Amino acid sequence: MGTFQAISDNIFCFLEGIIILLLFLLVNNKKDFIKNNKIKTVVFIILYTLFSNWATTYIPGGLHSVCITVFVIIVLSFVTQSNVYVSAISVAIIFITMLLVEISVLMAEMIFFRIDLNMITSDPTLKLYHSAIIKILQMGAAILLFRTNISIFKLNIFKKENSLLSFAILQIFMMGTFILSLNYVVSHQTNIVLYNILLFAIYILFIFLGFLDYRERERILKLKHKFEAQEEYVENMETVMNILRREKHDFANHLNTIFAMSMLGKPDTTDKIQMYIKKLTDNLTSSYQFFDTGNDFVDGLLAVKSNFAFEHDIHLEVDIEEPFGSVLVNDSDLTSIMGNIIDNAFEAIMEQGDKEGKVVSICTFLEDKDYYLSISDNGPMIPRENMDKIFENGFSTKTIGAKEHGFGLYIVKQLVKKNHGEITVKSSQQETEFLIKFRARGCKDDEQSSSSHYQGHTQGKAQSHGLAN
């Protein structure tokens, strides 16, 4: 009878785990959870079965109910990524509902069968039938409610998900529970072998839950990076739209000027209008440019930077020998890397005031199946004593607003390292170059560029802009 009783207790715990999960998802309006998280669903039910059986056996009477309740609150909060406060409220509602069912069954048995609570607790067979009736009714009600299209409860408070907090609380709770149970086992000389088996099983499932949470965090982090890239792209496009609006307003003034000149009817009016339009066309071509780099986010970034360069009399040269579609870098990280280095180049050049021939150059190429991104400028030389410090967190040569500087290149270094790349810097009186090497997505041998080709390319570019000696 003892073995049969143990088996029936495990079955009831298993069914109870299913009931609690169904009602929890119903209360929190997360009915799609089981369909989208089958592994987590199975893990929770098994973990609840083991822990409930273990806590009932190895934790003092009365305390085991409290431990099971707290365990359910924390684990459901962690598994379903619900706020721990919402989880506590939901579990309270669920347990009250289940208790009402048990009381209703007990009342019915007392009225129709003249059975009281003492008879049930003293007779194992009667207790088994009583528990089976309760679980069948609870399971039927949970499935019926879960399959309906209505939500019994909708908790709109505490919407923020916080599985990290839940996992930390779960660790603390499990440690305290194990210490409590260990003292009970030692003092009551209970079955140590069974205790260790159940403890080991719970430990393995606990590790598995942590692994599932790690994978979920990785997925969320990737989505966050995509969102950040999209957000930055939208911001760049808004800047471009503002530029276009400004140009539209300016062109209205230019058209009025041309119309007034034509109305004057002077002998040289046609020549003056032609020169005026030519100058407008040249300015329009130089003020903002659109590039096809193979990456929409970089295109938006460079469109904004080209306008900034025009406004500050800087020539922005872009030479994309190999499109960015060939590089294995996160879009958000790539735009952050390029944005920080380009801004750093602009700042360095503008420190020279009204110097003629200010140039920032960007080029990409493949070499030995690696993808290279070069960003250079003809600003002041970086002192040799600072070459090893420029990538340090907070390092800046600026005295004004120093607290707001010194983070750009540090961020660049971290993002390059994160994407398995390398960054080097060379600086002379003629040119400062940041050269970044990334892994290529895949290239053909005949598309590879040699080192001599790259050096010749950059030297020729420097000479064309007066950078070389």
**How many domains does the chain fold into?**
2
Q: Is the same domain home to 302 and 409?
A: yes
Residue 231: predicted pLDDT = 66
336 falls within a domain: yes
**Cβ contact 130:120 at 8 Å:** yes
Give the confidence band of 414 by pLDDT, cuts at 50, 70, 90: confident
326 falls within a domain: yes
Q: How many other CB atoms are there within 10 angstroms of residue 40's CB atom?
A: 21
CA–CA separation, 436 and 444 (whole Å): 20
217, pLDDT greater than 80: no
- Residue at which a domain ends, from 156, 190, 224: 190
- For 77, the domain range is 2-190
Segment among 9-18, 219-228, 348-357 with least mean pLDDT: 219-228
- Residue at which a domain ends, from 138, 172, 190: 190
φ/ψ of 324, rounded to 5, equals -70, -10
229 falls within a domain: no
111 falls within a domain: yes
Cβ neighbors of 32 (< 8 A, separation 6 or more) are none
Residue 386: predicted pLDDT = 84
Q: Is the same domain home to 292 and 182?
A: no
Q: What is the average pLDDT across 256-272?
A: 76
Percentage of the chain with pLDDT > 90?
16
The CATH number of whichever domain residue 380 belongs to comes to 3.30.565.10
Give the confidence band of 402 by pLDDT, cuts at 50, 70, 90: very low
176, pLDDT greater than 80: no
Nearest to 143 by CA among 272, 19, 7, 269: 19
220 falls within a domain: no
Cβ neighbors of 83 (< 8 A, separation 6 or more) are 77, 158, 159, 160, 161, 162
360 falls within a domain: yes
CA–CA separation, 269 and 310 (whole Å): 30
278 falls within a domain: no
Cβ neighbors of 199 (< 8 A, separation 6 or more) are 54, 178
213 falls within a domain: no
In the predicted model, what is the mean pLDDT of the chain?
A: 76
- Across 232-341, the runs of DSSP E, i.e. the strands, are 315-320
- Residue at which a domain ends, from 138, 168, 190: 190
Percentage of the chain with pLDDT > 70?
70
Q: Is the same domain home to 180 and 295?
A: no
430-461 per-position pLDDT tens digit: 899 999 999 988 654 434 443 444 444 444 44
CA–CA separation, 10 and 201 (whole Å): 14
